[in-house]
Chains A and B, each alone.
Chain A
């Protein structure tokens, strides 16, 4: 929301700059995003009167104007069609400067020298309401309304409000009801700074506060508006029209004023420029006044052309199913029967609280209006405005709730302003259905407010040596916080009551230590003692509270087994040279296809996001592989080709429950060499066994053991794929990425990928290893070298060896593998080192030979091995 400072000053006698005010408001909880100075660098802009305007002899789209700027006349060429003789314009003569710093000079346009330029609305630095270039062009020049005292050559800056400061507020929803208006902000400022507050006049007066200072009273056709508003006592409102509220649950209050005999025209400059400063476009005096009062009081208003309302009736009712209405923006809207409309005797004329209808819009020939001020059900407006995708200045206020006590006063204020500025007379009385609800009352215990803000248990603030990091020395005190110093805030009963009173709350004693606090009608957000504590706190300033530490039993904080396990995995992976990445939880719907995932893979039934921002984010991942491949592809594109990546992340597995199973996994992607380009030579190319070793290492860090068995997975290269098994359960896979999948990501060959479910492995937690006595007797080493068919797995051979050798075998290690010239095709040569040891005695050669020969025979018999 935007707040022009001069407008604010009409209600509160402020004496500070925009920046100072911004600091005050931010301290109250009304965050100020920025302070705009619409005038920017503007200099030397003057009021001009167009004396003559003629077509440019050489260009149909241009006009040549003679403009009276006081001491002289300028010849100015312009493209705008509304620069007609007799109009008053803003001229930027040579040497002047526009708000955006453009310096004006004299330049030739199709052979005619143009002395500076005439200004369009958007060129004057107001927040533009035109969204497109075409809209900007259509606006044409900014025309000054004719007014008394306007003279050529006059300084245009104050007249245009270009010496104004405008605060841009970013309001949280709780402050919307009472602060989403100029007057609401003024009320807050008055409470904080203890200043007097002037109410918006119910007699239609405006622009009277400090800082107004420009001709405001320009009515249509130069007529000066009356000092008094006119009342038609002959025909009271109820004889002009009738109001029926058929849905009182959705419309607790509806007030209609009737103004007759009006003349529609432009509104006074002050109103126009304030609307523009607030980001609204001036339309005509009637619409502008409803918007002006809306911005001023926060109460949305709507003017209907009474002559276009069938039967001169207003019926507030639920829409009929599929009822159609053409809204002011020219779009045909279809409504549902839970939505509220303002209808006449025949059809819907407005979507209540959201947007008016085209059928009863105020136009140039409107002479009688019905001015609506109402309170609509907040939730209904919220839902309707979102369903229709319409957000208007009215709907953003209604959907947060308006001040029910402001309905009638705002309506009356707008009606009286209209009679002053558009002529006509206000029909005496009004059509008023419903009533403002009783104000809420809160049972308040000041002791409880104190307990929420600052307990009495310690006399002073936190000791300085508890606050600072002892390594870095004691904390530096400051003006913003001093742990031991500063006056303690006064939170006595009288102090609390005074704070509340300043904010409009009325308190009466209701018991020894309790009060009944009446909440102002505009504070729907305040419902309990906690809210009152906030009111006191924010007015007092949170910075005045001391900093304490909570009192309670000493409890040691520690990570759970699972949390510690996940941390162990991350640290172990980094320790063995893998870089940690963080990838998206989202996945593209075609991920399962791109990855060639098997038909039973979770990703085929991955959870779908109903309203994703892009297709890339339309599913939730059930594997970490997609994110790792994206990361690899990104890095390869950016010339990082040696990759050792891991992610510990969550996958979302759809199941039978309403929420998916969220499972932590370790994903790995590796390719290339370590230390590539190092002068002593790079490390070995990462291969299947490099990654397998890393996985085995991580599992050991968690006191778990992984085994691998061959498997076929469509996204892994056949013959280089393994299933990972833990405690007889499959827990993941490892292998070389299938070249077709790699191609899909534009990745080079030689990529290893793996994924491991961590939950089953973390379940046990890290087991503390138990000490075993060191061996007392020497080991005997025997090697065995065999040639076996290529399809005999090493795991089979070690199993045979272990089974045959029995308990004397301490260890077996594969130390050589050979295929080639010396070995027949389809076979391979394997060499193992076997260590034999007894815990009771030194083994003799004869003993070892007996066992070892048994091993050799078993290998020949059971594995078809040829012994070498």
Chain B
């Protein structure tokens, strides 16, 4: 039994040694100031040459029957110390991250980095909207030359020669036969001549036009959008519905319209279309001259002579046409009160609107 007693003593001695080392280790762990210090502690106690490691390795000198028990004691201590280090490390790492994040905190109210984004010109923004409305109604976009023959600009559009109707549009001439087109209406003739006798003709023709006019509300160069529909059975009532649809898409579904008789040599009957002012919804404001109504565009049924000049027989087909000023609609749309702004290209102005 002497052997047994000696064994118990030896175990006790190891247990004491282990307990002392564990206690010392745990004390140091709980005082460990940062993850670095804890790593040092880990190496000191748990490393290959660490305190507990040496104890474990020393167990080899014990008699074999004692080794399992002594090993159990030492391993339990090892596990306890490792767990304490782990816990402490995690806690410290967490704290260190908090500190780092605190240092990395930003002022979220500071301005974001401006994105490189250019602005479309307000005229083209609105033109695209208008084009899209008519494209969705099955219209094509047609174009014609800006430097045009007098024939297409006036004669083919039923302007009598030497008639005051020509004064409605004072022209810039290049020579006797050629001028800067005063409206987009010549595209009507050019398109019909190319298309006749096929039906339907359904186009809008946006473009640049020129008139000898320069004041607060007129520019010698501006833009129009022409519309033309020719088919077997087209009436003024169809024109009215088409324009109502257009105006409501552009300015909102509460917009109302009215047609007033007017005169254009190339349409008969002719009318002006007024729409309720989208800025004041008809209550009256500066833009609409306190009338609640805005004069928006000219329109009418295509004159029989114009149909004939386009290659169609007015006995069998009829059509409507309309023409609007892009500048005017753009000004209404954005509430711009000075036409000149549209051609000055002041970047401060352009950047407000897109």
Contacts and interface: CB of A to CB of B under 8 A. Distances in A.
> Could you say which of A453, A659, A675 has the most chain B C-beta atoms within 10 Å of its C-beta?
A659
B238 A582 contact: no
A476 B254 contact: yes
A70 interface: no
Nearest to A468: B253
Interface string A456-480: 0100011000111100111110101
B345 A581 contact: yes
Contact of A635 (B149, B301, B346): B346
A563 interface: yes
Contacts of A609: 172-174, 180
A528 B308 CA distance: 14
A296 interface: no
B195 to A, nearest CB: 13
Contact of A612 (B118, B172, B256, B262): B172
A767 interface: no
B321 interface: no
Contacts of A586: 220-221
Interface in B103-147: 110-111, 113-114, 116-121, 123-124, 128, 131, 134-141, 145-147
A74 interface: no
Nearest to B168: A173
Contact of B175 (A399, A549, A610): A610
Given A545-B236, A552-B200, A574-B120, A583 B262 contact: no
A106 interface: no
B231 A678 contact: no
Contact of A579 (B161, B164, B351): B351
Interface string B223-249: 000000101011111101110110011
A462 B346 CA distance: 44
B310 to A, nearest CB: 15
A583 B221 CA distance: 10
B96 to A, nearest CB: 28
Interface string B302-338: 0110000000000000100000000000000000000
Interface stretch (B7-15, B42-50, B78-86, B207-215): B207-215
Contact of A530 (B128, B175, B303): B303
Contact of B146 (A382, A608, A662): A662
> Could you say which of B139, B180, B202, B269 has the most chain A C-beta atoms within 10 Å of its C-beta?
B269
B350 interface: yes
A578 interface: yes
Interface string A577-615: 111111111100000000000000000000111111100
A859 to B, nearest CB: 37
A826 interface: no
Contacts of B344: 634
Given A29-B262, A530-B301, A545-B237, A580 B118 contact: yes
Given A481-B257, A575-B117, A174 B240 contact: no
Contacts of B235: 451-455, 548
B200 A662 contact: no
A382 to B, nearest CB: 5
A29 B263 CA distance: 8
A640 B350 CA distance: 12
B260 A542 contact: yes
Contact of B174 (A172, A580, A607): A607
Contact of A538 (B202, B210, B269): B269
B261 to A, nearest CB: 3
B73 interface: no
A607 B148 CA distance: 13
Contacts of A607: 147, 174
Contacts of A452: 235-236, 269, 301, 318
Contacts of A175: 263
A582 B343 contact: yes
A549 B238 CA distance: 5
Interface string A828-852: 0000000000000000000000000
> Could you say which of A174, A608, A620, A638 has the most chain B C-beta atoms within 10 Å of its C-beta?
A174
Contacts of B164: 173, 176, 382, 396, 399-400
Contact of B240 (A26, A548, A580): A548
Given A453-B235, A579-B347, A650-B146, A537 B261 contact: yes
Nearest to B206: A563
B17 interface: no
Interface in B165-194: 165, 167-168, 172-175, 177-178, 180
Contact of A638 (B110, B135, B348): B348
A659 B151 CA distance: 13
B261 A534 contact: yes
Contacts of B301: 452, 530, 533
B114 A675 contact: yes
Contact of A557 (B136, B256, B350, B354): B136
Counting contact residues on chain A (CB < 8 A from B), the size range is 35 or more
A478 B348 CA distance: 40
Nearest to A571: B120
Contacts of A174: 165, 263
Contacts, number: 288
Given A557-B140, A613-B212, A617-B220, A550 B346 contact: no
A337 B67 CA distance: 142
B221 A584 contact: yes
Given A451-B318, A553-B200, A611-B173, A582 B146 contact: no
Nearest to B241: A547
B162 interface: yes
B259 interface: yes
B268 interface: yes
A554 B261 contact: no
A650 B223 CA distance: 13
Contacts of B172: 609-612
Contacts of A556: 138
Given A537-B261, A542-B260, A650-B146, A555 B138 contact: yes
A453 B214 contact: no
Contacts of B156: none
B297 interface: no
Contact of A583 (B113, B136, B345): B345
A795 interface: no
B290 interface: no
Contacts of A652: 146-147
A246 interface: no
A574 B128 CA distance: 14
Nearest to B202: A555
A319 B235 CA distance: 49
A620 B148 CA distance: 13
A399 B167 CA distance: 11
16 contacts: A26-B260, A469-B248, A469-B252, A534-B270, A542-B258, A549-B238, A550-B241, A552-B231, A556-B138, A557-B202, A558-B135, A581-B345, A584-B343, A586-B220, A607-B147, A640-B348
Interface of B: 110-111, 113-114, 116-121, 123-124, 128, 131, 134-141, 145-149, 161-165, 167-168, 172-175, 177-178, 180, 200, 202, 208, 210, 212, 214, 220-221, 229, 231, 233-238, 240-242, 244-245, 248-249, 252-254, 256-263, 268-271, 301, 303-304, 318, 342-348, 350-351, 354
Given A379-B163, A550-B241, A678-B113, 13 more contacts: A454-B235, A467-B244, A475-B248, A542-B236, A543-B259, A550-B231, A557-B141, A560-B140, A576-B118, A582-B121, A584-B221, A585-B208, A650-B208
Interface of A: 26-29, 31, 172-176, 378-379, 382-383, 396, 399-400, 451-455, 457, 461-462, 466-469, 472-476, 478, 480-481, 483, 528-531, 533-534, 537-538, 542-543, 545-560, 563, 567, 570-571, 573-586, 607-613, 617, 620, 631, 634-635, 638, 640, 643-646, 650, 652, 658-660, 662, 674-675, 678-680, 683
7 tightest A-B CB contacts, nearest first: A29-B261, A534-B269, A577-B116, A172-B263, A542-B259, A538-B261, A547-B241
